[in-house]
Structure 1
Amino acid sequence: MDLRGHLDLLLLTALRRIEPGHGYALITALREQSAGTFDLPEGTVYPALHRLERDGLVQSEWSTESGRRRRVYRLTQAGADAVTVKQQEWTIFQAGVRAVVEGWA
């Protein structure tokens, strides 16, 4: 499935629900919430998280859980604001696609 343009919304929304969360927890949450539709590889998620961090939408820090060192991510205020904007954009986009697809079905 091509996620271009939607990956940020998926990651930011999942992070808002589980934060703080490490990359694998995000992968698991997306897979479970989508009933397997979004079973994203680490090679997709971690570069996106690094980009979101560079863009100031998430911040990360090292954490040790059960003796394992992991990088955990949190939304910044800009990231929380971006979730709201991206969800509004998605609602408009989804309604437009539905109108076209169902109107010609």
Structure 2
Amino acid sequence: MHSRRGRDDSKQQSAVETNQNIVEQQNNDRISELSSQVGRLKGLTMDIENEVREQNVLLEDMGDGFSSARDLISGSLQRIGLVFEQGGVKNMLRMVGTLVIAFVFLYWVMG
């Protein structure tokens, strides 16, 4: 009877070891899946970081461009103000004529 009990214990121990091996293999598979997902997320994060850096450079360039345009417009408005201050019909007609020619030219180019 003692030998039968020993065989049952041996079978139980073998079954427990088999279950442990199965669980360990499942855990290893899940770890591999998680590692793969982490790698994909890391790659995605790096892509997002690069895109943000490129967009920041573009925004800085646009800011510089707007600043330059603002300075040009400010200078032009100051010169127009000087023309108005100096008065004179001749200067006024010259400015209006130049603007009309510029608008006609732009209309012709755009049309």
Band of TM-score, shorter chain: under 0.3
TM-score (norm 1): 0.27
TM-score (norm 2): 0.26
Structure 1 or 2: more strand by fraction: 1
Structure 1 or 2: more helix by fraction: 2
Taking CA–CA contacts closer than 8 Å with sequence separation of 6 or more, which of the two structures ends up with the larger relative contact order?
A: 1
